[in-house]
Chain A
Amino acid sequence: GQQVMQIPQYQHVQEGEDFTTYCNSSTTLSNIQWYKQRPGGHPVFLIQLVKSGEVKKQKRLTFQFGEAKKNSSLHITATQTTDVGTYFCAGTFGNEKLTFGTGTRLTIIP
């Protein structure tokens, strides 16, 4: 089946440093969603990107959808301890179901 690859698997950063996670697909995505899962919690929807080259911001979080709609990124500026968790991208191919990436686990060193 079609897959969404996500890197890195783990990221440890000092508090205040920036963080980026990337999602890639070999085929064009219809849209991409991003979720955050706190340790011990459940995934929570953050945002959806639909248009080629789309950029959306939520406070310190910046989400991008590539021009070819085959890749996406989530960038966090000046990380805080509240950013700890696992970030998942989830893409849709055509009218198929959502396919989740493997996630990036972010830990913050105070």
Chain B
Amino acid sequence: NAGVTQTPKFQVLKTGQSMTLQCAQDMNHEYMSWYRQDPGMGLRLIHYSVGAGITDQGEVPNGYNVSRSTTEDFPLRLLSAAPSQTSVYFCASSYSRGNNSPLHFGNGTRLTVT
């Protein structure tokens, strides 16, 4: 099993450009989520999904959209990139909707917005 796969690993965008960060998991996990990691601020939840067709906002959702058309995939869209979105993005999944399940993280996408 590949676990949680994120693409791309690195991306540079210009202000105003759009892009989609891809995330796929092959563990049949119900729960998927996106975090951003900034120095000194830990991991902050952007959006999450408890199953196909269901998404909800996390702590820092502004500027990001998500969809969950299948159990396996949970892409994160930046509609109009801003320098404040420069960060490392992690996708994570867990096997149940509850909060007792360990999160499995992807390898991350390092995004720079100029």
Contact = CB atoms under 8 A, between A and B. Distances in A.
B61 interface: no
Interface stretch (B10-18, B63-71, B95-103): B95-103
Nearest to B92: A43
Nearest to B107: A42
A100 interface: yes
Interface string A88-104: 10101001111011110
B99 A103 contact: no
* Interface residues on chain B, size class: 20 to 34
Question: Which of A6, A31, A96, A100 is most buried by chain B, counting CB atoms within 10 A of its CB?
Answer: A100
Contact of B99 (A9, A95, A102): A95
17 contacts: A6-B42, A9-B40, A31-B99, A33-B102, A42-B90, A42-B108, A43-B43, A44-B105, A45-B104, A48-B100, A92-B100, A98-B45, A98-B99, A98-B103, A100-B35, A100-B43, A100-B44
A30 B42 contact: no
Interface residues of A, number: 25
Interface in A74-100: 88, 90, 92, 95-98, 100
Nearest to A3: B42
A101 B48 CA distance: 18
Interface string A1-34: 1000010010000000000000000000011010
Interface of B: 33, 35, 40-45, 48, 58-59, 90, 92, 98-100, 102-108
Q: Chain B interface secondary structure, helix, strand, loop or mixed? A: loop
A50 interface: yes
Contacts of A41: 107
B4 to A, nearest CB: 9
B51 to A, nearest CB: 15
Given A43-B105, A45-B104, A96 B42 contact: no
